[in-house]
Structure 1
Amino acid sequence: MLGKTNITTLAEGAVATEIEDYSWIQMQAGINGNFVKAIYKNGYLAAITADGTVVYTKDGEVWQTSRLEYKDCRLNDIDWDGSRFVLVGKHTEENGQRVLIVTSINLVEYTRMVWDENTAYDREVLAIFPQNGICTMITKYDTILYIVNVYLTENAVEEKNITRLTMNATKASTVYYSIAKNTSGILIYYAAIDAYECHHTISKISNEGNEIQVRHSSDDSEDKRKRKVSVFECKGTLYAMELVKSTAYNLNKITDSNEIIPVCTGQDFMFVDGVYFNECQVFINRHDMLVVKKSENIGDKTLDDMVEVAPEFTMNCITKAFGQIYIFGNQGVILKSSVETNNENGITVQALSAKKALAEAKIYTNEKYAALEARIAALEAANVPE
């Protein structure tokens, strides 16, 4: 037995009905930046790159781009507040690094929000969560994170309240964070590492800006200091993907009541994002995809169930729009799912178990060939006259 495979033989010109059988078409947007976030709101599928480029489409086929022309511009998040898009990050002014908050109705013309306060917490905005006329933001100054609630007027930021996240390490030499959102608020993982120990914190921020600490730990062992958590949302549920050792990860679900429930343990999944599509949960890591159908349990899945989508690209986020799945990655890569099995522009998709089977078959063939060569050489040696 060479192992389980997800590949189904489909007739030429057939239509794929299973997500695992979709082909993937690389869309052309004409940019090279690394995507960090994508959303589908108000009829727009929009995505931002870290270096300040926005790409968008209103039909899933024709892509437009715009660029925020600010010095050292970095974008971290994009959301929709009910009447306009809000994009946040940072840029450089004469006095140094400052927050960047811009709004747009059509992603062509942008209005920069003026924030007059020049205090310690306004150096960079990592995430924004608009809800009921108030925006909850996670901001960063040096190694300290803050929760800032604001009103966004037509062209300005009006502060409501500011709170420093608990368990921030003021003397940390290295910080790592991961942020996800659902309709109830923000989930953030924050690690502050110094020369002696590392503080790991998972907190939920409500839409009122209140912090609820879900878990906190501190340790000084080298392995645990390297432990990192990636958080993401799928089907309205918040997940935390935690590296526990080498290539083994634990996937935990964070409930609305702030409980941590293990979903699967010890698998090398390393998910970075997910989406709910056609009654399936679709999870991606940097190159592969896992599909969990309605009747299935992710805890029963293994690496053999993973499907390789982009071996030559790095995938960062996934969303659904216009009845299809879209994946955004590094170097401006955008992939769109296609149910057409004979699409000439489709990228070859292969189950990881099929790759493993091919590799094992190659090893088996090479071993048999080597044994045959050795046997032939022995027979020839036996027939050589003395």
Structure 2
Amino acid sequence: MTSTTMSPIPKKIKPAQLLSRLVAVESCDPPGGELEIARFLEKELSGRGIELEVDEFAPGRANLLARWRGSGRRGPLVFSAHLDTLPPGSQGWSVRPFGGTVKGGRLFGRGASDMKSGVAAMTAAFCSVVATGTKLSGDLVLAYSAGESSNCLGAKRFVERAQFADASAILVSEPSSLDLIVAEMGALWLRITALGQTGHVSGRRGINAIDQMSDFMIGLRSVDLPCPPHPLLPEPTMQVGVIRGGHAVNLTPDQCTIELDVRIRPTTDPQAIIDLVARPGVSIEVVDFKPAVETAVDHPFTQACLQARRGLGVETMKIGGVSYYSDATIYATAWRTPFVIIGPGELGMSGQPDEYVEIEKVTAAARIFERVAKLWLGDVPP
């Protein structure tokens, strides 16, 4: 179900205050339930001239799209973030996971770093651009997705509906400690199955599929992944994340399945990886493939983001790549749109107990995002 509204120009929003309220709205995936936080943001953003749409594409799962119209001389600039978080778990928290506790200049809670801090900063920047009446050469768009941790469900929905296929650039607020990320590793997920023959330990023993898979997994250790050099990305990796096999302790297992996560650099052919790990006696199924994506360091959008960052008086920063994937891989693969990741969250905080973000970085991120919008879309230099 999709709803669209238009309504007065919102006042400026303080990003840290908004973040505290966002953390209090549970949107863990699993099970999902981003509709509540999408509706919350819809209410916050309600303002005349802003086009708002909440797209509930599955029960309780919703994307939010907000658009502030520019002159149309340039394609839209999209501020991209996801609304879902990982579950908090039951161990290790010294604060309430959804309490938004503030202490020592940090705000704590599930999603504080990944990535409700990005949502808060982008929302504040968007509202500041609107409230000041900045003339833009293209639309400024907020695209907040559901289910990023569930295989980028919301991003795929945006692509399916071609809601910003004409974007000139996409800024993603995934955690980066305010550094610039311009490259993501690709993710190849494989399901590998070994078949045996059932039997009973006290009689006919059968053929043990778990033993066959064990031999296969030992062989994986000697696989040398192809590694074209890349100045920004880490080494490729391969990890077994799931294993299933057997029906009862006294029965010989007739099937064993593993799921393999392989992270690869650009230009690596996924079929070459499949051929490399293939062995007699196992079948291989591709569960999903998200290609590695990157934007050139000298691309005008990268340079605009650098200029916006330096405009805050911060000259020391990193330009790098990451082993994680984000919604950027869905958009860049579908539309070849240039992207940059800048986020206030810390790279190592995702999914951790006592997840936190530095409040100062959330405020700084909002200023950077506003400046990027004015540099990239402004009819008059900021």
Q: TM-score normalised to the size of structure 2?
A: 0.24
Q: TM-score normalised to the size of structure 1?
A: 0.24
Question: Which of the pair has the greater relative contact order for Cα pairs under 8 Å at 6+ separation?
Answer: 2
* Structure 1 or 2: more helix by fraction: 2
- Based on CA coordinates, which of the two structures has the bigger radius of gyration? 1
* Structure 1 or 2: more strand by fraction: 1
